[in-house]
């Protein structure tokens, strides 16, 4: 068990942990959540011993091996496969000793230990992990030095997964992954046999790969059972209850104080007044609900253009005269919501650059509406920011016709109040830089948003704000993202970029997830490369099978939905009863109405608990059935 007791720690004078404590049982998968800057990464560094706590204790079994992704990505001429294999230091040492040992007894010991750690299957296991993270056989045999920085970080992730530590610490592992690798990692972590502590802002990953949530807030650590959605619901109910109980207590205090003020100097009532005064002093105050400010932002509304706003007719596009994508035919209207699927390297970003005007067609015809304004977001644009400037200064630099007041108002639409708008970009968090880029992208009220991995560095609340902003935006959206929740909540159509072209995908993201798993299994069964790009399904049998799966899951979906509706109704009833109980006038009456309301509230709470259990059972059954169907 990982045990954290009474942990206190400061960084640069700021208190991150204040007597925090939590326990993570062996074998449990736990997500660590909290606002950006709350101390999640610091906690991982405290667990590994990289930092020393000011006070408190972090303990775990002495035999446990702790694994984290290396901060420095592997490089050099060693192949990817050998780099991953070398991460298991014991195996590497034993393999080397097996070639040089001369003592028969030691040779026997070495080979017995190699058998115990399944050294013979290690190359296949390492290759499977690399394939899941998007590396084909050719890449696995090639050197790390040939890869980009982001791809080398994937190799670093593969190293720690291959090592199978007893405690796996992961800090935003999907930041360098595409959607396909994210879905593979989600499946891998579900089956991981040891303890996981996962820092992530990916709601789907936190719903599927962990069975508990630890929330870091105001220097404290608090455990919740279930995935992120369950945590969010439970915490909201808890805060609502705390707020209602505080309101009720304040009403009781006012009532008692009124009795004391009225009768403390009246001889016949003085003893009762003193008794109530002591009760008032002993009453432990209930803390007011304190929540972080919620980030909200909105894209400005563009003027409507006649459809289509952009068309591609048999277009090819690429670099240095060599096409990456061919035969692209696509029509985009202002109400389109498209998500691009496909593994990294297949051309998704190339297609977005073509639509943004950053690349010109090598062939075919691309037609734009004459008044079309395009908003293009890509993470690499953060390197183009002037880190010495403030947010306002950067906005004014790209909005030469705007006044300072207009620039501040525009930044305010993307979650920058006055003090944060005056912060130097060098001092901004990764999430703030991402929101600043979104604000700069939207400065001219574009008719189409091209979003290439917009959620990197955004926390869960900011991602939800982005979902709401996209859904409220009246223009077209084309999205590349490794965040399944963002795609599911915003995209109406899916396009698969693969095999040098782009085609509609017939299904939703759940169908795509199942199809990826099925093609991966088929590839392994046929001895094909596990990293081979998927081909879009087009056969009637596949569509019929997907429809049958959806039909089989429909009753479970209805059960979960019915339970959710019942929870919502009971929550409204509970809130209504608690509001009545918070009315001071109620306590001046005979007490019959008070007793009746308290009985009703007890009954509603009991039914609410039963409804929540029913919802949880239905949701669990649905997830299990979905996994089996996949």
- Sole residue written with tokens 């990982």: 2
Mean pLDDT of the region 128-132: 89
* Cα 467–chain centre separation: 13
Range with the poorest average pLDDT among 1-15, 261-275, 506-520: 261-275
Q: What's the average model confidence in pLDDT over 203-219?
A: 90
pLDDT at 275 over 80: no
Backbone phi and psi for residue 439, each to the nearest 5 degrees, phi listed first: -65, -45
Distance CA 24, CA 45 (A): 16
Report pLDDT for 530: 34
What's residue 373's pLDDT?
Answer: 94
Give the model's pLDDT for residue 351: 94
Q: Which token pair is 109?
A: 């010991």
- Judge whether residue 344 has pLDDT over 90: no
Check residue 580 and give its pLDDT.
83
Cis amide prior to 308 (ω within 30 degrees): yes
Q: What is the pLDDT of residue 376?
A: 93
DSSP state of 400: T
Mean pLDDT calculated for residue range 142-149: 83
Is pLDDT at 531 greater than 60 in this prediction?
Answer: no
How far from chain centre, in Å, is Cα 303?
33
Q: How far is CA 146 from CA 79, 141, 392, in A?
A: 10, 11, 39
pLDDT per position as a tens digit, 386-419: 888 999 999 998 888 888 898 998 888 888 888 8
Query: Residue 549's pLDDT is what?
Result: 57
- Cα separation, 394 vs 387, in Å, equals 9
Q: Mean pLDDT of all residues in the chain? A: 82
Q: Could you give the strand order of the β-sheet that contains 363-368, starting from the edge strand earlier in sequence?
A: 322-332, 310-319, 363-368
Q: Which three-class secondary structure state does DSSP give residue 11?
A: strand
**How many whole angstroms separate alpha carbon 496 and alpha carbon 538?**
12
Q: pTM of the predicted model, to two decimals?
A: 0.65
- The pLDDT assigned to 521 comes to 52
Give tens-digit pLDDT for 460-505: 888 888 888 898 898 999 999 988 889 988 898 999 998 899 999 9
Residue 328, pLDDT score:
93
576-625: pLDDT as tens digits: 888 888 877 777 777 788 888 888 888 888 888 877 777 766 776 666 66
- Name beta bridge partners: 197: 30, 169
Q: For the chain, state the CA radius of gyration.
A: 29
pLDDT of residue 86: 86
CB neighbour list of residue 80: distance below 8 Å, 6 or more residues apart = 130, 135, 139, 140, 141, 142, 143, 144, 147, 155, 158
**Whole-angstrom Cα distance, residue 198 to residue 170?**
5
d(Cα 276, Cα 257) in Å, to the nearest integer? 8
Sequence length of the chain is 630
Query: What does the pLDDT read at residue 290?
Result: 47
Name beta bridge partners: 57: 5
* pLDDT above 80 for 265: no
Output the pLDDT for position 276.
64
Helix/strand/coil for 416: coil
Average pLDDT over residues 82-109: 83
Q: Quote the pLDDT of residue 314.
A: 94
E strands within 467-608? 476-480, 493-498, 501-504
Q: What is the structure's pLDDT at 292?
A: 54
Q: State the number of CA atoms in the 13 A half-sphere of 180 facing the CB.
A: 28
Helix (H, G, I), strand (E, B) or coil at 215: strand
Contact between 225 and 277 (Cβ < 8 Å): no
Burial class for 138, CB neighbours closer than 10 Å (0-12, 13-18, 19+)? exposed
Alpha-carbon span 104 to 573, nearest angstrom: 77
- Which of 235-239, 476-480, 536-540 has the least mean pLDDT? 536-540
**279: pLDDT confidence band, cut at 50, 70 and 90?**
low
Q: Where are the alpha helices (DSSP H) in 137-227?
A: 137-141, 149-163, 179-191, 203-208
Quickly list H helices, 117-168: 122-132, 137-141, 149-163
More confident residue, 104 or 489: 489
Rounded to an integer, the average pLDDT of 302-329 is: 92
Least confident among 235-249, 264-278, 399-413, 487-501: 264-278
In the predicted structure, residue 360 carries a pLDDT above the cut 90: yes
Residue 272: the pLDDT is 66
Q: Which CATH class is domain 544-629?
A: mainly alpha
Cβ neighbourhood burial of 463 (10 Å; 0-12, 13-18, 19+): buried
Across 165-183, average pLDDT: 88
- Largest alpha-carbon pair distance within the chain? 101
Helices (H) and strands (E) in the chain, counts: 21, 18
Average pLDDT over residues 237-253: 69
- Residue 71: exposed, middle, or buried by beta-carbon count in 10 A (0-12, 13-18, 19+)? exposed
CA dihedral 126, 132, 136, 142 (to 10 degrees): -50
User: Percent of the chain scored above 70 by pLDDT?
Assistant: 84
Which sequence spans correspond to the domains of the chain? 72-164, 310-521, 544-629
The full 3-state SS of 302-363, as one line of letters, equals CCCCCCCCEEEEEEEEEECCEEEEEEEEEEECCCCEEEEECCCCCCHHHHHHHHHCCCCCCE
Alpha-carbon distance of 136 to 532, in angstroms, equals 6
For tokens 């003893």, name the residue: 271
pLDDT at residue 178 greater than cutoff 80: yes
Percent of the chain at pLDDT exceeding 90: 26
What architecture (CATH level 2) is domain 310-521?
3-Layer(aba) Sandwich (3.40)
User: Would you list the DSSP string of 235-251?
Assistant: HHHHHHHHHHHHHHHHH
């Amino acid at each position: 068990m990982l045990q954290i007791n009474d942990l206190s720690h400061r960084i640069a004078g700021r208190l991150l942990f204040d007597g925090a404590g939590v326990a993570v049982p062996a074998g449990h998968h736990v997500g660590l959540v909290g606002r950006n800057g709350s101390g999640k990464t610091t906690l991982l560094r405290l667990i590994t011993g990289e930092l020393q706590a000011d006070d408190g204790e972090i303990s775990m079994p002495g035999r446990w091996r702790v694994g984290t992704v290396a901060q420095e990505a592997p490089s050099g001429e060693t192949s990817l496969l050998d780099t991953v294999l070398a991460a298991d230091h014991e195996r590497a040492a034993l393999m080397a000793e097996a070639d040089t040992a001369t003592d028969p007894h030691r040779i026997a010991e070495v080979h017995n230990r190699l058998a115990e750690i399944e050294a013979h299957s290690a190359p296949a296991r390492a290759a499977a992990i690399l394939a899941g993270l998007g590396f084909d056989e050719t890449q696995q045999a090639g050197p790390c030095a040939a890869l980009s920085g982001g791809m080398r970080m994937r190799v670093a992730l593969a190293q720690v997964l291959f090592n199978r530590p007893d405690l796996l610490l992961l800090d935003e592992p999907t930041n360098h992954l595409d959607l396909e690798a994210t879905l593979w990692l989600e499946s891998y972590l579900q089956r991981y046999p040891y303890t996981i502590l996962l820092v992530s802002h990916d709601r789907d990953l936190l719903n599927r790969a962990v069975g508990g949530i630890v929330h870091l807030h105001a220097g404290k650590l608090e455990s919740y059972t279930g995935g992120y959605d369950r945590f969010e619901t439970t915490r909201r109910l808890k805060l609502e209850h705390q707020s209602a109980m505080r309101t009720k207590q304040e009403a009781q205090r006012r009532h008692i104080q009124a009795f004391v003020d009225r009768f403390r100097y009246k001889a016949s009532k003085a003893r009762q007044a003193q008794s109530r005064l002591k009760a008032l002093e002993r009453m432990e105050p209930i803390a007011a609900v304190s929540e972080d400010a919620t980030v909200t932002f909105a894209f400005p509304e563009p003027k409507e253009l006649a459809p289509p706003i952009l068309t591609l007719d048999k277009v090819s596009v690429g670099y240095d005269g060599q096409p990456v994508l061919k035969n692209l035919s696509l029509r985009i209207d202002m109400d389109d919501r498209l998500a691009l699927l496909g593994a990294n390297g297949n051309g998704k970003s190339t297609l977005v650059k073509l639509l943004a005007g950053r690349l010109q067609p090598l062939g075919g015809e691309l037609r734009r509406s004459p008044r079309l304004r395009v908003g293009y977001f890509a993470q690499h644009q953060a390197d183009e920011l002037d880190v010495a400037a403030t947010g306002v200064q950067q906005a004014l630099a790209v909005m030469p016709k705007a006044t300072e007041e207009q620039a501040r108002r525009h930044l305010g639409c993307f979650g920058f109040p006055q003090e944060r708008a005056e912060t130097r970009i060098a001092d901004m968090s990764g999430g703030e830089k991402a929101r600043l880029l979104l604000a700069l992208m939207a400065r001219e009220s574009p008719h189409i948003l091209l979003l290439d991995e917009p959620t990197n560095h955004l926390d869960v609340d900011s991602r939800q704000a982005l979902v709401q902003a996209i859904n409220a935006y009246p223009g077209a959206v084309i999205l590349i993202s490794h965040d399944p929740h963002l795609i599911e909540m915003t995209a109406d159509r899916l396009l698969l970029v693969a095999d040098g072209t782009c085609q509609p995908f017939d299904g939703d993201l759940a169908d795509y997830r199942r199809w990826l798993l099925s093609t991966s299994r088929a590839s392994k069964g046929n001895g094909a490369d596990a990293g081979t790009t998927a081909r879009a399904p087009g056969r009637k049998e596949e569509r019929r099978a997907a429809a049958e799966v959806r039909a089989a899951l429909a009753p479970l979906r209805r059960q979960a939905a019915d339970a959710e509706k019942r929870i919502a109704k009971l929550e409204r009833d509970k809130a209504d009863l608690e509001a009545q109980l918070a009315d001071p006038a109620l306590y001046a009456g005979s007490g019959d109405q008070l007793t009746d309301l308290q009985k009703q509230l007890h009954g509603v709470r009991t039914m609410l608990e039963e409804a929540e259990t029913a919802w949880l059972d239905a949701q669990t059954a649905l997830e299990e059935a979905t996994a089996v169907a996949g």
